[in-house]
Amino acid sequence: MEKFLIHGGRRLEGTIPVSGSKNSALPAMAAALLTDQPVTLDHVPAVRDIRTMGRLLADIGASVERSGNRYTIRAERIASPEAPYELVKTMRASSLVLGPLVARAGRARVSLPGGCAIGARPINLHIQGLEKLGARIRQEHGYIEAEAPNGLKGAEIRFERVTVTGTEDLLMAAVLADGETVLENAAREPEVADLAELLGKMGADIEGAGTGTIRVRGVAPLGGAEHRIIPDRIEAGTFLVAGAIAGGEIDVCGARADHLGALIEKMQEAGAEVAVSAEGSMRVRGGRRLAGVDVATREFPGFATDLQAQWMTLSTQAHGASILTEGIFENRFLHALELGRMGADITITGRQAVVRGPSVLSGAGVIASDLRASASLVLAGLVASGETVIDRVYHIDRGYERIERKLAAVGALIRRVE
């Protein structure tokens, strides 16, 4: 099993490029199942979840060709509308093939997904929406089996709570449904808007993506398209936090500041110096005195839950107390115990964490519990004295494209070892 070895205390200087968004590329790949024509995606990150999705699409019957960060997917026919457990047990995004398979093939058998141990992310909202579109669904032996032999019919669907993958899944189902579908209380995340842009290039009729109400008029058949995946806002945010706490000056290039408004606002409130260029790159200068700032995670455009762990590491270096409230998941403070092993002062009560700083962190052996927790431990290792050893880095490989190489290129002493 691979690990990261990090020797902290190094200033970061230089430029870090941002990869394409994993959370945008995964639904875009699933969308290729909606047509028998080729769909070409550029700027796809080379991360573990993308490879898993590629294997899943090939297992379903699509041809998947990769050239660097460019994928061409063609599903001329759906040979097996199934997502087996062995393929998807490590990836939450497996549920994204449910809607496209039912819409295109009239049936689907999808394993209940796996992924990070950060709390319940039930798929019931997907199921309820598909039932409103006319699908018959049953659950048995760990699988969801859906059938719509006569096709899907447009419907009005209001989500009980905001769900990103649920919005994406039902959006893909609705583009081939007969009639108009209205999705209320839809997710407004940039990844949803990016998926809608791809679907529009394929011929779909969609209005309101990026708002709380999305209208879809079914169009069949859809055609092929070429599309460039948006930059990964979570990766960019991780590097901004790294620059703020590690000292020096780094440019995070290729990202979109309008996707990171909540983080940039909180960083500036804490005293970090973040400047956005006209070209979209962001420069952060470290070494400044940081103040504790309270953060509550919520849906976009609020502070992203996927940046909460990284913010906790920043808070360990800030003066005063910071209160972090996790508003999305109920079990997303597992990294706090590992940060405590490194010397952080963190108290957890329910969905709130109180971080008192600044703490002098020291290197220790720690274990990554999930994707974003891994990133928080890497950030802690950058500022800790001595050597930090992070075990189970396969979690971070699910969503970061060789993070150790990018950080090493700007001066971090970090390497991957067996």
| Shared-domain flag, residues 336 and 379 | yes
Residues 162-183 have pLDDT tens digits of 999 999 999 999 999 999 999 9
Nearest to 413 by CA among 246, 283, 289, 288: 246
**What is the pLDDT confidence band of residue 114, given thresholds at 50, 70 and 90?**
low
Query: 386-400: per-residue pLDDT in tens?
Result: 999 999 998 899 899
Rounded CA separation 189/167 (Å): 10
- Which residue has 């649920």 as its token pair? 166
Q: How many beta carbons lie within 10 A of that of residue 283, not counting itself?
A: 17
Which one of 213, 228, 243 terminates a domain? 228
Choosing from 175, 209, 228, the residue where a domain stops is: 228
Q: What is the H or E stretch that residue 136 is in? A: strand 136-140
If asked whether residues 122 and 145 sit together in one domain, one would say yes
Q: Residue 121 pLDDT more than 70?
A: no
Residue 266: CATH number of its domain: 3.65.10.10
- pLDDT, tens digit (0-9, with 9 covering 90-100), for 122-158: 688 999 999 999 999 998 888 899 999 999 999 999 9
Q: Is there a single domain that holds both residue 269 and residue 361?
A: yes
Name every residue whose Cβ is closer than 8 Å to that of residue 302 and which is 6 or more positions away in sequence. 262, 296, 327
What pLDDT does 122 receive?
A: 62
Q: Are residues 219 and 263 in the same domain?
A: no
Taking 60 as the threshold, does the pLDDT of residue 292 lie above it?
yes
Whole-structure pTM value: 0.95
Whether the predicted pLDDT of 113 surpasses 60 = yes
Q: Looking at the structure, tell me whether residues 189 and 263 fall in a common domain.
A: no
Same domain, 100 and 199: yes
379 and 258 share one domain:
yes
Helical pair 371-383 and 308-316, crossing angle rounded to 10 deg: 20
111 and 250 assigned to the same domain: no
* Closest by Cα among 212, 164, 211, 161 to 21: 164
Q: Which tokens in the block code for residue 332?
A: 């997303």
| 192 and 297 inside one domain | no
Tokens of 43: 């700027």
Distance CA 414, CA 418 (A): 14
Whether residue 91 is predicted with pLDDT greater than 80 in this model: the reply is: no
Instruction: State whether 76 and 139 are in the same domain.
Output: yes
The total number of structural domains in the chain stands at 2
- Between the alpha carbon of residue 266 and those of residues 173, 244, 354, the distances in Å are 37, 12, 16
Q: What amino acid positions are annotated as catalytic residues? A: 116
pLDDT of residue 196: 98
Does residue 57 sit in the same domain as residue 190?
Answer: yes
Last residue of a domain, one of 193, 228, 263: 228
Query: Are 186 and 290 within one domain?
Result: no
Domain, as residue range, for 203: 22-228
Tokens of 238: 């991780």
